[in-house]
Chain A
Amino acid sequence: MSVWNRTLKQLPSRLLKLVVVTAVALICMIPFWYMIVLSLAKQQDTFTVLLVPKSLQWSNYIVAWQKANFTVLFRNSFAVTLNALVLTILISSLAAYAFARLNFRGRNLIFNILLLGIMIPGQTVLIPLFLTMKQLGLLDTLYALILAYTAFGMISTTFILTSFFRTVPQELLDQAKIDGCSHLNIYARIMMPLARPAIATVGIFLFLGNWNELILALTLIQNDLRKTVPLGLITFVGQYKIEYGQLAAALAWATIPVLIVYIALQKEFIKGLTAGALKY
């Protein structure tokens, strides 16, 4: 079959694919477009506007920023997200190395028990968690969130990193041991550098999860000055009369940082996934 004929034959299916994909893409994007249109609308227009902007009231963004106090919100969210992320990766990678390449009694058992942790829903542990934080004197501090997020993120991170570390050839490690490296050295000098794509992957997952988390923040944080972005959004809704234009602008503000991070790290992310983070 000639190339031309083949292409022609594929045209209907290619077209179909394109149509399907475009339709889905539209459904994905329209809500965001709606959000932007709403965020630029004047108060009275918010009741009638659909997909065509009726006004371009950029001031909504300024008012929303100030009312919701995004400066504080972003600062807190960044602090919590990044610190938890680093801490999670640190302790998870240490554990992952042990699970993947070290041999000690009870290793498999402990590993399997950690797995059960995924099934525990957040609300189950809300009150005890709250009381624990209180006993530690950490209530209403960002530390509480950092520790909590670390705990809830470490399980899946440990698993991803464990399975990744298992793909590192044993010969490399044997060579290092012969060369006299301690386990800590192996971990720091061999495993971690190799794991960069996997770490990028878990980094994105953790960033997303931590940045967008709501219920724990809701429970553990009471002070206005320590709110994270999602919490600030929810309280913004109740704080003032709902002016939909400003609310939409606030939603837009909340979304921008994750978008930026994603676009920046996107390549790393895909690389990490394909490089065997999900190897079976």
Chain B
Amino acid sequence: MSVNRSIRISRRSFLSGTLLAFAGTALAACAPAAQPTVQPTAATAAPTAAAATAPTAAPTTAVEPTAATESTASAAGSTSLSPDALKAAKGKQKVVWWSWTPQKNDSIMKVLPGITRMYPDLEIDLERRNIEWGQYPQMVKTALAAGNAPDIIDIYEAAVSTMDLAAGGQLVDLAPYLEMDTEWKKGLLPSALKSDSWNGGSHYFTLPLSVNNVMVWYNKSLFEKAGVQVPTTLDELKAAAKALRAQKIQPLVFGVSDQWQAGDMFLTLAAQIAGDKLRAADMRQAKWTDDSLVATMKAFKDLLDSGILADGISGISSTDAGNLYMAEKAAMMLNGSWALSGLDQWPAGLFDHTGVFLFPKVKEGATPVAVGDYSQNGGLWVNSKALAPALAMYRFLSLDKEAQAIWLPLGEIPVIPWDTSTVKDPVMKAFVDAQPNAFTRMIYDSQANAALLAGIQGLCEGKVTPEEVMDTTEKSARQGELPFLKD
């Protein structure tokens, strides 16, 4: 067989191919690159805002004019948004809402018809689409790029960052609206509202529907079997781990391979060890290599080295972790109150001997707290065709007593004042009691967050040191001015 008859990309065709590619480039240059949005000035206004608020800013324009520019920039979004505009929305209106939380669909759908209590002539035809968590960021971003986004976009900072979206002019700044709608502003619990405020309350890109937090769940029977009490200090936790392992029980488990629960663990430690430094580093007012943050990562390593964490944790996903706990192979899991919404999946009787406790004290003088913050948090898309109905729906879900009552059974906590004594279940009660002091569960710099979480994976494998993780995080963190600053 003659072998010369194989693929020979002749130089001529290669050159032609390259030329064609450049022709394509030229063609592409003619086509509109980005979809024109309603806020042509939002993106340029953002850097000015950053300059105005960053402490080391050079000649700053006064905050007021900038805010005004922002308001006019979002004018198309917000002048059509006023309490009157919301009241003017009538009839059957279609609203599209994207999220990754399927378990909430039924409850929301069930309570939605009650919107007539707040807006008598309004009926919402809601399409609440749930996209698997792994695909959610991509779907949202391609939709935004194509100008095809939903009216309400659920936010989770690690993947779909408020800062990025807002700076890109995709989210309506609801601050002007809230100025007009004092009833909503006052109706929310201050802690809930604070979780969504930026630049000291001058911007609100999302509003909360519910909050929750994360603590340590434990299996009372397994504790008994190993003769272990609920630990309140790190040493007690280490001893407990030893005792559990002696009974062939894994001590503490959470998901590392899909990263987010490992983040919760880090934040739990950071709440005690680093405190405000975390947010400072996040907002680029401090470095991730700060001593307190390195100390936090060292504390994480300590958990690994002292056998508190389950074997092979680097390969365990959050689902696996839950399964391990449910199979009663692990005595403790780090999980949030939302797990209460899935109790029907639990093996019979397991919940009866399940309890929760705050992660023990790891540092002298520190107060253990839960990590938590907003749970259900959505932003309004700037190019939505259903701005008023969408916001009206959101307002209803946020303020109406019955609408807010759906959250407790789902393992989440309402954002309006409510009677905490109605909670009888001790587990839920623990979460409710921990909520007011919960440490914010988000890192808003998505790049730093990604590096941090990947680094923790390496740490769990023993491949990198705590210093290296924080170093990489600092290198990956956003450079330059941030468009908005989280309080």
A and B touch in the complex (CB under 8 A): yes
Interface residues of B in 242-297 (CB under 8 A from A): none
20 contacts between A and B (CB under 8 A): A43-B345, A109-B13, A109-B16, A113-B13, A116-B9, A116-B14, A128-B28, A134-B147, A139-B148, A218-B139, A222-B139, A222-B143, A234-B134, A234-B135, A237-B132, A238-B132, A238-B133, A241-B103, A241-B345, A242-B319
Check A235–B131 contact: CB distance below 8 A.
Answer: yes
Interface residues of B in 131-163 (CB under 8 A from A): 131-135, 138-139, 142-143, 145-148
What's the Cα separation between A127 and B142 when bound, in Å?
A: 7
User: Per-position contact with B for A16-49: 1 when CB-CB < 8 Å, else 0?
Assistant: 0000000000000000000000000001100100
Residue ID in chain A nearest B132 by CB atoms: A238
Check A280–B5 contact: CB distance below 8 A.
Answer: yes
A115: chain B residues within 8 A (beta carbon) = 7, 9
B142: chain A residues within 8 A (beta carbon) = 126-127, 130, 219
A140: chain B residues within 8 A (beta carbon) = 148
B342: chain A residues within 8 A (beta carbon) = 241
Asked if A243 is at the interface of the complex by the 8 Å CB criterion, the answer is yes
B363: chain A residues within 8 A (beta carbon) = none
Asked if B102 is at the interface of the complex by the 8 Å CB criterion, the answer is yes
B145: chain A residues within 8 A (beta carbon) = 127, 130-131
Closest chain A CB from B258 CB (angstroms): 12
Which of A115, A135, A222, A280 has the most chain B CB atoms closer than 10 A to its own CB? Answer: A222
Contact of B130 (CB < 8 Å), options: A116, A134, A219, A239 = A239
Closest chain A CB from B16 CB (angstroms): 6
What's the Cα separation between A131 and B27 when bound, in Å?
A: 14
User: Per-position contact with A for B1-28: 1 when CB-CB < 8 Å, else 0?
Assistant: 1000101011011101100100000001
Residue ID in chain A nearest B347 by CB atoms: A44
User: Per-position contact with B for A227-250: 1 when CB-CB < 8 Å, else 0?
Assistant: 000000011011111110000000
Asked if A266 is at the interface of the complex by the 8 Å CB criterion, the answer is no
Asked if B385 is at the interface of the complex by the 8 Å CB criterion, the answer is no
- A-side interface residues, number (CB < 8 Å): 33
Check B20–A113 contact: CB distance below 8 A.
Answer: yes
A113: chain B residues within 8 A (beta carbon) = 13, 16-17, 20
User: Per-position contact with B for A42-73: 1 when CB-CB < 8 Å, else 0?
Assistant: 01100100000000000000000000000000
Q: What 5 A-B pairs are tightest by C-beta distance, nearest first?
A: A238-B132, A112-B13, A134-B146, A113-B17, A116-B17
What's the Cα separation between A108 and B103 when bound, in Å?
A: 58
A235: chain B residues within 8 A (beta carbon) = 130-132, 135
What's the Cα separation between A123 and B290 when bound, in Å?
A: 38
Check A239–B148 contact: CB distance below 8 A.
Answer: no
B327: chain A residues within 8 A (beta carbon) = 47
B131: chain A residues within 8 A (beta carbon) = 235, 238
What's the Cα separation between A116 and B12 when bound, in Å?
A: 13
B143: chain A residues within 8 A (beta carbon) = 222
Asked if B119 is at the interface of the complex by the 8 Å CB criterion, the answer is no
Check A134–B148 contact: CB distance below 8 A.
Answer: yes
Closest chain B CB from A251 CB (angstroms): 15
Asked if A174 is at the interface of the complex by the 8 Å CB criterion, the answer is no
Interface residues of B in 380-414 (CB under 8 A from A): none
Check B146–A130 contact: CB distance below 8 A.
Answer: yes
Residue ID in chain A nearest B96 by CB atoms: A222
Closest chain A CB from B3 CB (angstroms): 9
A133: chain B residues within 8 A (beta carbon) = 146
Residue ID in chain B nearest A159 by CB atoms: B7
Closest chain B CB from A253 CB (angstroms): 18
Residue ID in chain B nearest A218 by CB atoms: B135
What's the Cα separation between A47 and B5 when bound, in Å?
A: 55
Q: Other than A127-B145, A219-B142, A234-B135, give 6 A-B pairs with Cβ distance below 8 A.
A: A115-B9, A130-B142, A222-B143, A235-B132, A238-B131, A240-B102
Interface size classification for chain B: 35 or more
B14: chain A residues within 8 A (beta carbon) = 116
A243: chain B residues within 8 A (beta carbon) = 345
Asked if B60 is at the interface of the complex by the 8 Å CB criterion, the answer is no
Interface of A is mostly: helix
Interface residues of B in 183-223 (CB under 8 A from A): none
What's the Cα separation between A240 and B102 when bound, in Å?
A: 6
What's the Cα separation between A44 and B350 when bound, in Å?
A: 13
B132: chain A residues within 8 A (beta carbon) = 234-235, 237-239
What's the Cα separation between A25 and B16 when bound, in Å?
A: 47
What's the Cα separation between A237 and B135 when bound, in Å?
A: 11
Interface residues of B in 276-322 (CB under 8 A from A): 319
A237: chain B residues within 8 A (beta carbon) = 132
Closest chain A CB from B406 CB (angstroms): 18
Asked if B353 is at the interface of the complex by the 8 Å CB criterion, the answer is no
Asked if B100 is at the interface of the complex by the 8 Å CB criterion, the answer is yes
Residue ID in chain B nearest A237 by CB atoms: B132
Asked if B90 is at the interface of the complex by the 8 Å CB criterion, the answer is no
Interface residues of A in 234-280 (CB under 8 A from B): 234-235, 237-243, 280
Asked if B92 is at the interface of the complex by the 8 Å CB criterion, the answer is no
What's the Cα separation between A108 and B9 when bound, in Å?
A: 11
Check A238–B13 contact: CB distance below 8 A.
Answer: no
B225: chain A residues within 8 A (beta carbon) = none
Interface residues of A in 95-109 (CB under 8 A from B): 108-109
Given contacts A115-B7, A134-B148, A238-B100, A47 and B323 within 8 Å (CB-CB):
yes
Closest chain A CB from B473 CB (angstroms): 26
Residue ID in chain A nearest B21 by CB atoms: A116
User: Per-position contact with A for B332-373: 1 when CB-CB < 8 Å, else 0?
Assistant: 000000000010010100000000000000000000000000
What's the Cα separation between A131 and B1 when bound, in Å?
A: 46
Given contacts A44-B347, A131-B146, A222 and B129 within 8 Å (CB-CB):
yes
A242: chain B residues within 8 A (beta carbon) = 319
Contact of A139 (CB < 8 Å), options: B12, B130, B134, B146 = B146
B7: chain A residues within 8 A (beta carbon) = 115
A108: chain B residues within 8 A (beta carbon) = 13
Residue ID in chain B nearest A48 by CB atoms: B327
User: Per-position contact with B for A117-134: 1 when CB-CB < 8 Å, else 0?
Assistant: 000000000111011011
Which of A112, A139, A224, A242 has the most chain B CB atoms closer than 10 A to its own CB? Answer: A112
What's the Cα separation between A23 and B10 when bound, in Å?
A: 45
What's the Cα separation between A218 and B142 when bound, in Å?
A: 10
What's the Cα separation between A44 and B102 when bound, in Å?
A: 22
B103: chain A residues within 8 A (beta carbon) = 241
Residue ID in chain A nearest B342 by CB atoms: A241
Closest chain A CB from B103 CB (angstroms): 8
Check A112–B130 contact: CB distance below 8 A.
Answer: no
A131: chain B residues within 8 A (beta carbon) = 145-146
What's the Cα separation between A4 and B36 when bound, in Å?
A: 83
Residue ID in chain B nearest A219 by CB atoms: B142
